Amino acid sequence: RCETRICSATLIKTRNLITGIHSISSVGEIHHLHAPSIAKQEIRVFRAQVKRHVREVLTPIALLIEREMRKVNLSSETQQLLTHPQHMKAAFGRERHKCIPNIPQSLDFIMSHVYTLARGFEHFLLNDETTVSGGRLLIFSSNTQLNDLFKSSYVFCDGTFSIFFFCMNNDIKPFCRVTITKD
C-alpha cells in the first residue's frame, strides 16, 4: 500500500517458492492519487550515490556522506527528511562490509590488486614475501610516506605493531605498516 494514507494505490509482492522469483501484482487502484514527493526522490538518488561511493572508495564513510551532502545541494525539505550522517554511517558501513573480503585464516591468501594501490594508482604494497621461518612479510607505504621518511632526521620503531615513525619538523608521523605473521 502507498505510504500516503489518503492514496489507495496498492501493490502486492509475492515470491514463487519453487523458482524464488518475486512478482508484483496490483489490486484495486493502480495509479496514485497524489504527486510524487520530490524530496523522497532526492533522498533515493543521494543514497544511491553514497552507496556507490562506499563500495568503490575506501574513504571513511562519514566523510563520504558529508562530501556528497555538500556536492548534491539538497533542498531544505530533503535535509529535514534525511537522517543525520552519523546515523546513516551504520547502514552504509554494512554495505561496505559486503564488498570487503573476509579476514584470511592462513598465510596462503592472494592480495587483491585493489589493496596494493594507494589512491587508485600509486603503489602501496612495497613487499610481499615469505620469511625463512615460514611467516609472511608485507610492507605497505605510499610514495609520499617514503619521501617524508628519507627527509626525516630521526626514525623510531614501535615493536608492538611494527610501525615505523619518523620525526620531521617536530611532527611525528607513521611511515609504513609492516605486518609479520607466523603460523
**5 within domain boundaries:** yes
Do 73 and 56 sit in the same domain of this protein?
A: yes
For 66-90, the pLDDT digits (tens) are: 888 888 777 777 777 787 778 888 8
pLDDT band with cut points at 50, 70 and 90 for residue 182: very low
6 vs 118: which has the higher pLDDT: 118
**82 within domain boundaries:** yes
The SS3 assignment for 60 reads coil
Do 24 and 42 sit in the same domain of this protein?
A: no
**105 within domain boundaries:** no
**104 within domain boundaries:** no
Length of the chain, in residues: 183
Do 117 and 172 sit in the same domain of this protein?
A: yes
Whether pLDDT at 44 is above 80:
yes
**106 within domain boundaries:** no
Do 59 and 4 sit in the same domain of this protein?
A: no
Q: Is the pTM of this model over 0.75?
A: no
For 13-38, the pLDDT digits (tens) are: 676 666 666 565 555 556 666 666 77
Answer with the one of 99, 122, 137 that is the final residue of a domain.
Answer: 99
Whether pLDDT at 174 is above 70:
no
Structural domain harbouring 165: 113-181
Do 16 and 60 sit in the same domain of this protein?
A: no
d(CA 134, CA 140): 20
Going by their DSSP bridges, the two strands 117-118 and 163-168 should be labelled as unpaired
Going by their DSSP bridges, the two strands 125-130 and 11-15 should be labelled as unpaired
Do 84 and 132 sit in the same domain of this protein?
A: no
**69 within domain boundaries:** yes
Do 169 and 120 sit in the same domain of this protein?
A: yes
Split into its structural domains, the chain has a count of 3
Q: What is the pLDDT of residue 180?
A: 44
d(CA 35, CA 42): 14
**44 within domain boundaries:** yes
For 108-160, the pLDDT digits (tens) are: 888 888 778 877 678 888 888 888 888 888 888 888 888 887 887 776 666 55
